[in-house]
Structure 1
Amino acid sequence: MRFMVTAIDAFGHINAALGFAEGLKAAGHEITFAHREKHRNLAVKRGFSFIPFDETLVAVNTNEFLFQWIDAFADKFRQEPLKQCHDMIKDGSEEVAAPATLFKALNNAMDAIVSDKNNKFDAIIVDIPAPFPFLYKHSIPWFPLASLNPLVLYPSGPPPFSGYSVSSDQSNWDEFREAYQLAYAKLTEANNANLEAAGLKDVKFNPAIFVDNPPTFGFYHYPAELDYTECGSRRPNWYRVDAWVRQPDLDTEFVIPQKLQDKPGKLIYFSLGSLGSADLVVMKKIIAILAKSPHKFIVSKGPRGDALELADNMWGENYVNQIKVIQGVDLVITHGGNNTFMETLYYGKPMIVIPYFYDQYDNAQRVVDKKIGFRVNPYDIDEDYLLNCIENIFNDKEMIDRVKVISQNMRNSNSLNEAIKMIEKQIEQNNNNVL
């Protein structure tokens, strides 16, 4: 079968889509990855065909666009999530609706590819956290991926993006839900206007869910041990896959840099992701703290890494071959983006999560609730606490063992193959109905 695979223009979603596509290719299917020209190498390396977006339709420079967005809200992202929402409501800032422009441009680029009569696809796999009109316009079956914390799929659980524990005081939950909806009201209005302009009056964007309601079914990416089953039933038509972690982007093995080879202590990887690392205030503060640790660090400095100066116990680059690095370290300090979160678990590493926004807060709290690491809030980074968290992990054999069990179960799971069989059966059923 011929699959078009695509994602919104964000590295975590792109990497997750590539991982799922690798499973489809291993099952014997043909993959065409559709995205910006700069990502062609990611497809070619994996034996996929590639179709680039029409750059005249996505002329916006996504990196610059997102950096400006980060800078506009950086002071808010360094606050407790509920306060973030209240401050955004108070400001009434128009920038909150800016991503709708990006969504519209990406939709037009994807629509152009699917509309081209030279491109024939049996199905579309999409990792996009919003309803995109092109999916509803065409008769091709499509299956969404939800590569984010699955709390969005559990209506009876804590509000998504709040960072609240499942055992927290529920009297606060409704307040957060209401504040979040009001904070993102302008984004909701802009996205729904785009949907209505496309003739989709019955399709609505909900900023507290993000993922589409699948016409048949979709898949989310989370290990069984961490799923929110204690929160009751999840939204219909969503199925869990334990792991679809992609292969490394580079085949070269990671070798500990010469600078660190003779340094004492454990080896730790530190990354706040492509967006969180753009906040140089937070990056510099954490680097200054980690400089006082007796351990050594591999640092993913991020797109603005040239402005960062690393300490003597650190080595880093703006981009590192993350999967290979994670395999070789003892601990990961991460923003908790779902892609890095899953890679860290898959390779059996405990973690300290310093969440920056959205579902990163939920992943951070899940780490605490399931006792597989620690949470450090970016609005309250205490030097002693962060350094103690590192030592506490290395001294906690039970915690390390818990992570190893999750890793083994993810690796042994057959859930990705089962998901692919579901897709195959659905496509065959659709074809039979047409006949």
Structure 2
Amino acid sequence: MSKTIAFFPEAAFGPALNSVGIAQAVEALGHRAVFLSDPGFVSVYEGYGFEAHPVNLSEPMPPEQMAKFWEDFINGHIPNFRKSPYDQIDNYVKDCWTAIVDSAKWAEKDLPGVLAKISPDLICVDNVILFPAIKRFGKPWVRIISCSENEIEDPKIPPHLSGCGEKDFSCHQAYRDRFNEVIKPIHDDFNGFLAECGEAAYPIGQFFEASPFMNLLLYPEPVKFERAHPLDPKRFQYLEGCVRKEKPYEVPTFAANNDKPLIYISFGSLGAGDTGLLKRLIVTIGKLPYRALVNVGDYMGEYGDLPGNVIIDSWFPQPSVIPQVDAVIHHGGNNSFTECLYFGKPAIIMPYVWDGHDNATRVDETGHGFKMPRYDWTDADLAAKLETCINDPAMKAKLAATSAHMQARNGPQKAAGILDELVRTGSYAGA
């Protein structure tokens, strides 16, 4: 029997498109997938053929202004991209959590009515904060963790957003202590909101909880952490990424180096505002024996006099591009991170914020690519790392094994099967 499954991703393309991939697989099983959406993202879901219902996550504003909110937020913090994860806590991270807590308060105004209207049988939320109305709706709810798996904490693994190495325990402790110190006033405010909603307070540093029904981690098993407390498979399942289907992409003809290895460069829709870095990369690649496709987002007008081996565009169907390239330079967003692993492509990650720091460290320490600073590098540094990415036998073998593992386990189909069991029976028996 067909059931209604609602998806509520945060207002960013990574979580949004991951949920689209799962929703496509859910509909293939005969269920109805609908989206609860930040108003600025309604058109994204409608573009994939889904019904989408707006939920205000901030003071109402015109959709085009809403869509630019996080872009403007990120661009305002570009000077902080030069700082370490620790030194971003009292600026970018603090401002982010302030905005996220505000979004939860705003959502509570609309969510009860929207849920009553849709009447979903199951709700899937991909966010870093609790929306009390979802927990209180009376139907099973699933948490999707589309960022690094360290969003689900464990004393043995690096704290979320820290970029610490797996075994660098002094880094873990220093980051946790500083985060909790800076975040305390925001956390106290959130606990006050939870109390108003009839919810128990969360311990310091925690803004969400694991679902008692199911938690889906997009993180791939080949890079997962060794935990002190292993996750119960009846409540936690790894999806090995959720690579969505996109329209085919034909690599254009380049004016120069048309027979050379192909690089794809993207810092995501939000990171495209760092035009200074992208211009520097274009100049450097222009001198190397490669070709490059570069995603420049909404900033096409900022670029001129491109080298003949570089082609820019405002958007690329990334899951159709990455299989055709030899290496990727990206910011460490979860989609880019998992898609490179899924297709067996080495990555140079230049992180700037959030879990990009964690993914950059992880790709480096597991041998799937390199972590590089965004600004403190030389042309020779980049050239050497690209050479290794494209030609190193050990890295190629590691990536081939990870890709084979992930492609043998279709993430969206696995998620859809779990959701199907949950929505039919109310629980998941385990694989």
TM-score scaled by length of structure 1:
0.86
1:136 aligns with 2:135: yes
1:304 aligns with 2:317: no
| Letter in structure 2 aligned against 1:350 | P
1:409 aligns with 2:405: yes
Match of 1:157 in 2: 157
**How many angstroms does 1:275 deviate by?**
1.9
1:287 aligns with 2:286: no
Q: 1:27 to 1:109 in 2, by over 3 A?
A: same
Give CA deviations for 1:362-420 in whole Å, capped at 9, x if unaligned: 11111111111111022523332122110111120221222122112111116655544
Give CA deviations for 1:75-94 in whole Å, capped at 9, x if unaligned: 22221112223x549xx976
Query: What is the Cα-based RMSD across aligned positions, in Å?
Result: 2.9
CA contact (8 A) 2:295 2:312 kept: yes
1:13 aligns with 2:11: no
Residues of 1 paired with 2:132 and 2:184: CA distance? 20
Match of 2:353 in 1: 357
Residues of 2 paired with 1:182 and 1:98: CA distance? 18
The residue correspondences of 1:243-322 to structure 2 (distance < 5 A) are: 243-248=241-246, 251=247, 253-260=248-255, 263-309=258-304, 311-312=306-307, 313-322=309-318
Match of 2:382 in 1: 386
CA contact (8 A) 1:97 1:190 kept: no
Q: Which of residues 371, 374, 377 is equivalent to 2:373?
A: 377
Residues of 1 paired with 2:277 and 2:108: CA distance? 33
Q: Which of residues 223, 227, 243 is equivalent to 1:226?
A: 223
Match of 1:24 in 2: 26
| Secondary structure at the counterpart of residue 210 of structure 2 | coil
Give CA deviations for 1:134-160 in whole Å, capped at 9, x if unaligned: 212311221110001112324121222
Residue identity (%): 25
Q: 1:188 to 1:53 in 2, by over 3 A?
A: same
Q: 1:167 to 1:2 in 2, by over 3 A?
A: same
| Letter in structure 2 aligned against 1:65 | F
| Secondary structure at the counterpart of residue 231 of structure 1 | coil
Greater displacement, 101-110 / 385-394: 101-110
**How many angstroms does 1:29 deviate by?**
1.5
**How many angstroms does 1:64 deviate by?**
3.2
Match of 2:98 in 1: 97
Structure 1 unaligned spans of 5+: none
Match of 1:215 in 2: 212
| Secondary structure at the counterpart of residue 68 of structure 2 | helix
Give CA deviations for 1:61-120 in whole Å, capped at 9, x if unaligned: 3443223322443222221112223x549xx9767623333343345444331122xx23
CA contact (8 A) 1:154 1:235 kept: no
**How many angstroms does 1:27 deviate by?**
2.3
Q: Which runs of 4+ in 1 moved over 6 A?
A: 54-57, 92-95
Match of 1:4 in 2: 6
Give CA deviations for 1:310-339 in whole Å, capped at 9, x if unaligned: 631211112222222112211111111111
1:81 aligns with 2:85: yes
**How many angstroms does 1:271 deviate by?**
0.4
CA contact (8 A) 2:104 2:130 kept: no
Q: 1:195 to 1:77 in 2, by over 3 A?
A: farther
Residues of 1 paired with 2:281 and 2:185: CA distance? 33
**How many angstroms does 1:261 deviate by?**
7.0
1:197 aligns with 2:196: yes
Residues of 1 paired with 2:204 and 2:30: CA distance? 36
Give CA deviations for 1:186-231 in whole Å, capped at 9, x if unaligned: 443443343333332x153865x66532132211012221111x23
Aligned residues: 419
TM-score scaled by length of structure 2:
0.87
CA contact (8 A) 1:271 1:277 kept: yes
**How many angstroms does 1:14 deviate by?**
0.3
Q: 1:31 to 1:67 in 2, by over 3 A?
A: closer
Residues of 2 paired with 1:25 and 1:206: CA distance? 39
| Letter in structure 1 aligned against 2:330 | T
Residues of 2 paired with 1:264 and 1:428: CA distance? 53
**How many angstroms does 1:44 deviate by?**
4.9
CA contact (8 A) 1:96 1:186 kept: no
| Letter in structure 2 aligned against 1:75 | P
